[in-house]
Amino acid sequence: MRFTVALLLLIALPASANYLELRRNANVYLESNTGSQQIGRLEFDGSLQIIRLQSDRRENGFHHIQLQESGRPGWVHKSRTRLRPGNPPDEIPGSCDDHLVHGTPSASDQLLCRDGYALGYNFSRRSADWVAYRLTPGIHDDGNVERQDDFREDEDLPFEFRTTPNDYEEPVFDQGHLAPSESLDDTIAMNSQTFLMSNMTPQRPGFNRNGWRGLENRERKWASARGEVFVYLGPIYEGQASFIGDRVPVPSHFFKVVYDPEENEAIAFLIPHQDFLTAELNDFLVSVDEVELRSGLNLLSALPNATENSVESVVQPTQWP
């Protein structure tokens, strides 16, 4: 039996009013008449389905739980949860559901769900594996709040795997956005979350401020023209690694895939981390299959297999109008 959750594994503790937040994939053990048995895995997959739990017991590192809907008792290990003070929220903040409706690119070390995007974080690289977001004219046109510029540590990550603005106190690289500030500016909170350091990678100024910015302008244009697109992007690390700050790796390439569900087509770019201009973007068009091969990700995995194979095999001859 399989259970899926988006972000929160909730328990109501009668005396202290706390709840649990699921941090990573977890095994849940439910008790039966013949003893405890494992019945499935809890996985982040962008679903809004929530498993609510009730208990105040913990033994040998396991939280004692009770499924609220069925009343069945069971256990989940503390290493896969984080105890939060207060009452469980009525709604899940920053659900990944909108952004990952077409599939989660990989089972990264930690899934971060924001108002405007979802992000899969890699602890060993101290960097995102990927970022995904749904983009519409209403998101990038209606609010148009001011750029927040509040670069800061991401406190949702374990301390030892975070990066900080201090890592970028060197003369070469920008704090380069993955989920772009200018695209995700519907609300102050949405825009501010793009300045979390988990959303940053080292980017050369001639890359970040020129062609990469031009591609961000293109995605907003395509969202306006098409009504809705889904964007997937991230760094790729090939060859000899170089680092800045406290061993923050510098990507060798970046990719971006824009998927239009209405037209059922995608456009994909794989760009070396070097200075380039917007006018050169056609030089970097590839198939989604090529992006997956080079990145190790599985994009658009929720599409039917035949549809996924068809969409991902195409190399667009030129940029969309």
Q: Taking the domains of the chain in order of start, what are their residue ranges? A: 3-85, 110-312
Instruction: Give the bridge partners for 29, in sequence order.
Output: 38, 75
Residue type for position 228: E
Which residues touch 91 (CB under 8 Å, ≥6 apart)? none
Superfamily for domain range 110-312 = Extracellular Endonuclease, subunit A (3.40.570.10)
The confidence score (pLDDT) of residue 23 equals 46
Give the pLDDT of residue 40: 47
Q: What is the pTM of this model?
A: 0.73
H helices of 227-317, in order, are 288-295, 305-312
- Helices 305-312 & 288-295, crossing angle to 10 degrees? 90
pLDDT at 44: 37
3-85, CATH topology level = SH3 type barrels. (2.30.30)
Q: Active-site residues: which are they? A: 177
226 forms bridges with which residues in the sheet?
A: none
- Residue-by-residue pLDDT tens, the chain, 321 positions: 333 333 344 433 344 455 555 544 455 666 654 455 544 444 433 332 334 444 556 666 677 766 545 566 677 666 556 555 555 555 444 458 789 999 999 989 999 999 999 999 999 999 999 999 999 998 988 678 999 999 999 999 999 999 999 999 999 999 999 999 999 999 999 999 999 999 999 999 999 999 999 999 999 999 999 999 999 999 999 999 899 999 999 999 999 999 999 999 999 999 999 999 999 999 999 999 999 999 999 999 999 999 999 999 999 999 999
Segments in the chain forming alpha helices (H): 137-140, 188-193, 205-206, 212-226, 288-295, 305-312
Cβ atoms of residues 104 and 120 within 8 Å: yes
Question: Which CA distances in Å does 69 have to 3, 13, 33, 161?
Answer: 13, 16, 19, 36
Angle at 181 between CA 223 and CA 167, to 5 degrees: 140
Here the tokens at position 264 are: 């059922």
**Comparing C-alpha atoms, which of 109, 113, 110 is closest to residue 95?**
113
d(CA 230, CA 316) in angstroms, rounded, equals 17
Q: Where are the alpha helices (DSSP H) in 65-158?
A: 137-140
**Rg of the Cα atoms in the chain:** 21
Question: What's the CA gap between 144 and 285, in Å, rounded?
Answer: 30
Q: Note the pLDDT of residue 75.
A: 72
Question: Hey, what are 96's tokens?
Answer: 């990944």
